[in-house]
Amino acid sequence: MTADEALSDTLRAALWAARRGWFVHPLRPDDKPPLWGDWEHRATVDPDVIRSWPKRTTGYGIACGPSRLVVVDGDVPKPDTPPPPADGIRDGLDMLAYLAEQRGASIEWGTFQVTTGRNGAHLYYQAPDGVDLRNTAYDPRRDPSSYLGWCIDTRAAGGYVVGPGSVVNGKRYTTLHSGAPTALPGWILLLLTSRTHGQAASQGRGFGTGSAAAASSSAGSTTVGREWVEAAMGGELDKLRAHPGTQGGRNVLLNSVSYTLGRLVGAGVVDRLAVAEQLLDETARWWGVGGFTRAEAEATIRSGLAGGERNPRVLSPREERRHAA
């Protein structure tokens, strides 16, 4: 028997997480709170440090900030939780799927996933560069703009999640899907990002130019990170790229994507001309399909952008609340 095989299941699970590059710290026995007050600074990937943790350790946390993770926590409603916003939504994962469906988007279910002690789920995503995401927590008493959705929390910089293999309140957190964390979907990033976070992450840098960023900041416009813009734009443009250009839903989709990006134009975070040009470029392969013309594309784009500009997106600051998911 090796030295590591003699360790508890929890310590071996923490070592496994550390080998993936995730910074870990011990929790109080059979509970969620950290064992250390300065857990984020002491979180480690050093196996010798992990082996020195108290033998009574039954759970460990993964510090999302240093681990470069954003974790979406789809929770199960408690008895006093208000009803969901629509029929058929049973828990936080259903709510996440509902949010995606509303936006014509998708969820990367192949990302690393953990089943929680209450039969909820943690979806692990790679933290995007250039934007300072913090924690959000569902609270029906607060403004809905302060959290992602009904029974959904998120953990990022300044937060942690209970790691797989931990036991909390007698219930084990288990790995549901062991694939590597995928990139945070652009539509989730767009919902989570606030004006304050974007400015902090950019460190005074503008968008720059180019079709990928599809933006060029003008004097007095809001400054956010290039990566934020690319992710927000990419999530919408991917919808156009996935459409074959046939008549079914073509104009509706183009108008919807144009409207969404028009809201960013109205917020002052992207340049209207650059966005319009990028949208037109993406529809070029549709021209001539089912009688669709460039002029029709231009008219739909103009209408959608104008509608979005009249309703600019408000990038409300996200309030950091609880730490542990």
Please list the residues that pair with 177 across neighbouring strands.
113
Residue 306 CA to residue 323 CA, distance in Å, equals: 40
- Whether the pLDDT of residue 215 is over 80: the answer is no
Q: Residue 207's closest CA among 185, 192, 222?
A: 222
In this prediction the pTM is 0.62
Distance CA 72, CA 178 (A): 16
d(CA 257, CA 238): 10
Q: How far is CA 68 from the centre of its chain?
A: 12
Q: Which pLDDT score, from 0 to 100, does residue 148 have?
A: 92
Report whether pLDDT(65) > 70: yes
Task: Count Cβ atoms below 10 Å from residue 9 Cβ, excluding itself.
Answer: 12
pLDDT at 325 > cutoff 60: no
Which helix (H) or strand (E) covers residue 85, if one does?
none
266 vs 78 pLDDT, higher one: 78
CA distances from 37 to 26, 173, 180 (A): 11, 23, 30
Q: Token pair for residue 19?
A: 């080998």
pLDDT surpasses 70 at 243: yes
Q: Provide the mean pLDDT of the chain.
A: 82
Q: Is the pLDDT of residue 267 over 80?
A: no
Q: Which of 44-58, 198-212, 226-240 has the lowest mean pLDDT?
A: 198-212
> For every residue of 229-272, which 3-state class applies, written as one string?
HHHHHHHHHHHHHCCCCCCCCHHHHHHHHHHHHHHHHHCCCCCH
pLDDT value at position 6?
A: 54
CB of 237 closer than 8 Å to CB of 231 = no
**What DSSP character marks residue 124?**
E
What totals of helices (H) and strands (E) does the chain contain, helices first?
11, 11
Q: Which whole number is the average pLDDT over 282-305?
A: 88
pLDDT above 80 (res 317): no
Q: How many residues does the chain have?
A: 325
Q: In terms of C-beta density within 10 A (0-12 exposed, 13-18 middle, 19 or more buried), how is residue 66 classed?
A: middle
d(CA 173, CA 244): 42
- Give the per-residue pLDDT at 281: 87
Long-range CB pairs of 80-85 (<8 Å, 24+ gap) are 81/140, 81/151, 82/140, 82/150, 84/150, 84/151, 85/150
Token pair belonging to 61: 């946390």
Of residues 72 and 272, more confidence is placed in: 72
**pLDDT level of residue 315 (50, 70, 90 thresholds):** low
The DSSP element (H or E) to which 228 belongs, if any, is helix 226-241
Q: Is 80 exceeded by the pLDDT of residue 254?
A: yes
**Backbone φ and ψ of 125, nearest 5°:** -130, 155
